[in-house]
Structure 1
Amino acid sequence: MSEIISVEEFSRLTGALYEGLQQKVPWKSFLHSLQEKMDANFVTFIIRPPSNESDGLILSTGHTGDEVVASYNKHFFAMDPFVDLPSSSVVTLDEFIPESERKNSDYVQQFLAPMNVHHILGTDINTRDGAKYSLRISRSCESAPFTQKDKEVVSLFVPHLQHAIDINHQINRVETERDLYAGAVDQLAVGTIILDEEGKVIQTNHVAQDLIQENDGLKLTGHSLQVGTSRDTRKLRELIKQALSAQQKNTPSVVEALRIQRPSGKSDLGIVVRSVPTNQWAEGKQCPSVVIFVSDPDRQSQAPQEIVKALFDLTPAEAQLAMLLANGLTLDETSEQLCISRNTARAHLRSIFSKTGVTRQTMLVRLILKSVATLG
């Protein structure tokens, strides 16, 4: 390996490749480092190939990278002859298609030539789940063609790129699941506050952020959470300390609850404190250690009216009335807000009872709030 690339340079580039998994635009620094190493004018990484139905997901270096991607997505992907390469093999455009066969093609004349691209080195990586990634490295007409040594240099990174792609797929799946569950908790109007091993706040969801901004029984000072009165805050810290102790000893945590009165006079906040189970191999600072769940009885259900309508086969008027009842209004308050008579409201309610199979208003509220409608 030392004859092809120095150990230091190889380490730097592979480091950039794996660090790219944590970047907002993945592998951006790696692609730029590879461009510099290969003396290229462009390095392009096709994460999702374009099609007639949708644009591709493409990263490209160079000053005109965005323009190149837009042009390729719109017109030239269908004309590109340098596709479907042998998986994980590194080949040049000259090896794939002789220059004599391509020099007068529309793809070369209309796309490559205006960008001053003449030499291309590429590899395709097929993943286990059927995805295809393509790496393309290009040089100008004035630059030297890619050599066997250039191919060997890129070949060194192909297994690492394959591995990084697999890790990226796993990260994306975990993040998708996390966002899905976090969104479900938001829809249920439950605030979540995550603390680290020192009891400091490291993450809050949207509901908790709204409650903290209201400063009505819940307050964040620096990274420390304060609730209700000073006595309430002391009690909360005792519960957090117990949860942290259970987490550090890897023993089951007793879930503790606390009710917090609010200065505004609104309904009390409900708080549940529990430890976060740890992976036996996990170690490090600022890891999720304790989670605090906060419920606000005054926060209305976010169940979309259209979903309630579809789930229970209600008319628009019935769905609207059902949602107002689920949010705590009485039948009189509901009829007033909907500008309908009480008799009309009662007729809607009787129809709702018939369609849902319940016989009391409290049962209807429970049915709606426990249904999947709140996750819509």
Structure 2
Amino acid sequence: MGSLDAFDRVVASLQEAALGHADWPEAACLISEVSRTQGSALVLFGGHTQIDGDFFYTQFCLRGEVREDLKRKYLEDYFPQDERVPRILHLPHGQLVDTGDLYTDREKKTSRAYNEALRHVEGQNGLHMRLDGPEESHVVWALCDSTERGGWGSDQVRMIERLQPHVRQFVVVRQALAEAGALGASLGALLESTRFGLIQLNRDGRIVEANDLARRLLGEGNRLADQRGFLRVRVPAENAELSRLLDCALPPFGTRSAAGSMMVGRSSSRGPLILHISPVGEQQPQSQPRRVAAFVLVLDPATPAPIDPVLVATALGLTTAESQLAVALAAGQTVRDIALSTGRTEQTVRWHMKQIFRKQGISRQVDLVRRVLMLGGAPASIG
């Protein structure tokens, strides 16, 4: 199989893995195959040092196998003192750097991470790349040593650089779905999500379906719009970028598709919308007009993530009615609002509040709201 076919297989595998319909190890093995490397590590990291940082996602594969044991040992025994970490996190986006260049000559003699961990995983002569992740996080892509006897060749480096945007897109989309509790969900289930907008497109780029949040954003007409059945952005420059990304996700039949992301500004004081455009599965002839060929995830950072009442009930030991009340209070509703929306009297609502306070050992509404909001980072249920 030619190199172009192999590249297509990697991209397709990354797109499937981003949705949670396939595993990263499959894509990692294909990456090792086309780039001719012993293995790779992929990390989504927040922060700029080992002290203030946090891992959101981390995977390590060596010689075609997932090595949780090596990953765990590195994180526990070597990561806190690894001299290369802060240097990686300050690399320019997309710059490929030799592993040896991340250590000083003295550190190559004294560093436990360099002399023990990297030697054990065949990574002393590898390559590193940092990519901008979502919300100021970092995507770190580390490749182990080349399998070629003479070391890294220019064709290998070109392949890695070609794969770079697809690897980043995998991490960004996967993280968005993971935060929404939607990894592995079908396209139909994604339409039920209240954590992000979802717009499904056919081969012609026409809108096939959209969930409630996406329809609301389209209906506002604030930059993002449904123009005679097609997704458009009102600002010409942004619309040109959207058209480019849609052309990549929906290319002519028989041509390789690609995912991409962009930001759409808004005239209001709210921050920009984030759009992730991804192709769906194998391409089909245009004779199937209703088939979903691509989808657009629309993230609105200005919209607080909804909190799942089931999660609140489980975490705080509340009944269904009590958890729904707690979530409504956290969303800013008043007792009167809740009484009107549920058909209860205000006296009944206040009685439920007292029951919650008793169970939680608190006496103020602000304390209850704080506890509910602390659960907001957990994934909400997908129907």
Q: Smaller-chain TM-score range?
A: 0.3 to 0.5
Q: If you compute each CA radius of gyration, which structure gives the higher value, 1 or 2? A: 1
Structure ranking higher in helix proportion = 1
Q: TM-score, normalised by structure 1?
A: 0.45
Normalising by structure 2, we get a TM-score of 0.44
- Give the structure, 1 or 2, with the largest relative contact order (CA under 8 Å, sep 6 or more): 2
